[in-house]
Amino acid sequence: MNLRRSLLACVLALTLPLSGIAQSNTLLLNSFLAPQHPVTSMVIKPWAERIGQVTEGRVKVDVAPSSLAAPHQQIASVNKGVFDVAYQFHGLMAEQVKLNQIAHLPFVNTTSRGSSVALWRTYQKHFAKVKEIEDVHVLGMFVLPPGVFYGMKGPIDGMDKLKGRKVYALPGVPATLLQAAGAGVVAAPAARSHEIVSGKTVDAFAGYSVSDANGLKTLSYATDVTDITGNLTAPSFVLFINKKRWTGLSEKDRKAIESISGEALAQSMKMYDDLEIKARADAAASGIKFHRASDSFNKDLQALGAPLTQSWLTDAQKLGVNGREALDFYRTEAIANR
């Protein structure tokens, strides 16, 4: 057993009641985001707790008190047995997993629930057969509310506010699009964004929602928020479990876990939409100004985004998937379930 995992097991054993220690099927889940971040506190931990309920205590999931691996090492760490269950940002898998990047494309997302349902159903209908994620067993996917532009010295309301400016962006589509706009992009996982933004080495940041900016402690550095018509992008994640640990569970328990994962997990993301509404109201009350991008700014961004969409369509074709059909399906589902 991995040494780090063994040490953590000892810590958990000292803090858990004896009934918890006695579990024969105890899984260790890693969340690379901080315990107070909404993804951990509202999505991951409640889902983990429900596993104990739906399996009637036969399977228990312990959430590591702090991350045991870097954001980009989640799948590799599950395969090595450092922990059993994890989730990973699709933007950090862009070279290995092409199809699921659909959720990061510009102008395709609606709400957290709408996009999460769209991604899961599109994956099931169009992508799963390609087996891009083979090393682990996929349990579900979720998409956070769409990302926006944050100005730290006034609003980002035109291409002139991006060109030549230093901007933090999530890796993948946000970073690529902003580079095309002429910005000096600092791309890093969301978990590192506070370090970058708080250091005030950038003039703006982009790629995640207001509720996530609040959870990541970067929102207080913004003076203005700019929303893009049709939405710029949205962070998406895949939730998975080590294959051996999965097959080691009884069929009854696997079915129970599946009943609260997949579609059910996607539908539950309505709670994140509610959180976003509250976060925006609180931000406005604190003095942050909200703006809607002008038609000309929207058109400029759409022009920059078109090559990204075409590149994804090309990748889909190479993998034997009708990309246009999948993209139309995704958009339809995202709108229908928002």
Same domain, yes or no, for 259 and 328?
A: no
Looking at the fold, whether 131 and 223 belong to one and the same domain comes out as no
- CATH number for the domain spanning 134: value is 3.40.190.170
- pLDDT for the residue 173: 86
Residues 254 and 131 both lie in one domain: yes
What's the average model confidence in pLDDT over 297-308? 96
Q: CB-based burial of residue 134 (10 Å sphere; 0-12 exposed, 13-18 middle, 19+ buried)?
A: exposed
Surface-to-core class of residue 222, CB atoms within 10 Å of its CB (0-12 exposed, 13-18 middle, 19+ buried): buried
Q: Which of 32, 28, 47, 35 is nearest to 271 (CA)?
A: 47
> In this structure, are 126 and 187 located in the same domain?
no
User: Do 200 and 135 belong together in one domain?
Assistant: no
Report pLDDT digits (tens) over 226-280. Answer: 999 999 999 999 999 999 999 999 999 999 999 999 999 999 999 999 999 999 9
Structural domain span for residue 294: 149-233+288-336
Q: What is the CA radius of gyration of the chain?
A: 20
Q: How far apart are CA 109 and CA 334, in angstroms?
A: 6
Same domain, 166 and 139: no
- Indicate the pLDDT class of residue 19, thresholds 50, 70 and 90: very low
pTM of the model: 0.91
Which range is least confidently modeled, 3-7, 187-191, 227-231? 3-7
Residues 137, 158: one domain? no
pLDDT (tens digit per residue) in 25-35:
999 999 999 99
pLDDT of residue 215: 95
* Inside any domain, residue 12: yes
- Retrieve residue 329's tokens: 């399906």
203 three-state secondary structure: coil
Q: What is the mean pLDDT of the chain?
A: 93
According to the model, what pLDDT value does residue 16 have? Answer: 47
Nearest alpha carbon to residue 146 among 107, 172, 189, 95 = 107
Same domain, 154 and 55: no
DSSP strand pairing (25-29 vs 59-63): parallel
Portion of the chain with pLDDT greater than 70, in percent: 93
Predicted confidence (pLDDT) per residue in 207-229, tens digit: 999 999 999 999 999 999 999 99
Q: Name the band, by pLDDT with cuts 50, 70 and 90, for residue 40.
A: very high
pLDDT of residue 22: 38
- Asked if 115 and 319 count as a contact pair (C-beta separation under 8 A), the reply is no
Phi, psi angles (nearest 5°) of residue 86: -165, 180
| Residue 23 pLDDT level (bands cut at 50, 70, 90) | very low
Give Dmax (Cα) for the chain: 63
Domain for residue 323, yes or no? Answer: yes
**The 224-227 sheet, strands edge to edge:** 184-187, 166-169, 204-206, 149-151, 224-227, 289-292
Per the CB < 8 A criterion, the answer to whether 105 and 235 are in contact is: no
Rounded Cα–Cα distance for residues 47 and 237 (Å)? 15
24 vs 225: which has the higher pLDDT: 225
Q: In sequence order, what DSSP letters do the residues of 86-149 get, joined into one string?
A: EEEEGGGGTTT--GGGGGGSTT----HHHHHHHHHHHIIIIIGGG-S--SEEEEEEEEPSPP-E
pLDDT at site 1: 47
Residues 292 and 203 in one domain: yes
Residue 105 and residue 222 in one domain: no
